[in-house]
Amino acid sequence: MSRRNRYKQLCEAYDRGVAECDQYRRECREFVHDLRNSVIESLSCAETKVFMFPPSTGFVYKSQMIQGDALDTEFGENGTAAIGFAINVNGEDLEEKFFTFLIIFKKTGSKIRFNIDDEKEFVNSNEGINDFCEYLFEVAQRNLLGRLSNFLQSPGENNTPIGFKVQTE
């Protein structure tokens, strides 16, 4: 009889482990949904300007494409998760222009810690999310305004040059 109880305990442990992993994924997806809403509110932009995408596929825009959602979150083996965001910064014109970034995050204890560039980490509190939105705006603006500078400072031996290939003949 005791062996049967041990088997039953293993089955219960498996079920409990699966339930805990499912709960973790739900919490992470709720965080992503809340973060998206905070970015939209912070930028005062329409919901249709913010897209989400799975990091492994990259962002591919098609006019009929779904905006993406928290289900695009990808999970690593160590509990780290990632989601891609793209903000359409086309303003009033019709040409599509995007600023893209990845959010990497992981729940530790009761908090979710997240970042976009490994330089600064944020926590999923109201203050942490507000700080993140301010930081994201600064990074995006600096990146978008510094495009020429970034291009001019790129290494000369780049395998995929932007614009044209210099002829050496």
- Over residues 2-54, the pLDDT tens digits come to 566 999 999 999 999 999 999 999 999 999 999 999 999 999 999 989 999 99
Mean pLDDT rounded to a whole number for the chain: 84
pTM recorded for the entire structure? 0.77
Q: Is the pLDDT of residue 130 over 90?
A: yes
- Determine the Cα–Cα distance for residues 110 and 113; give it in Å rounded to an integer: 10
- Residue of 82, 87, 116 whose CA lies nearest to 99: 87
- Determine the Cα–Cα distance for residues 150 and 106; give it in Å rounded to an integer: 31
Residues in a beta bridge with 106: 113
pLDDT in the model for residue 153: 73
- Determine the Cα–Cα distance for residues 28 and 150; give it in Å rounded to an integer: 34
User: Which of 29-33, 54-58, 146-150 is predicted with the least confidence, judged by mean pLDDT?
Assistant: 146-150
User: Which of 86-95, 129-138, 152-161 is predicted with the least confidence, judged by mean pLDDT?
Assistant: 152-161
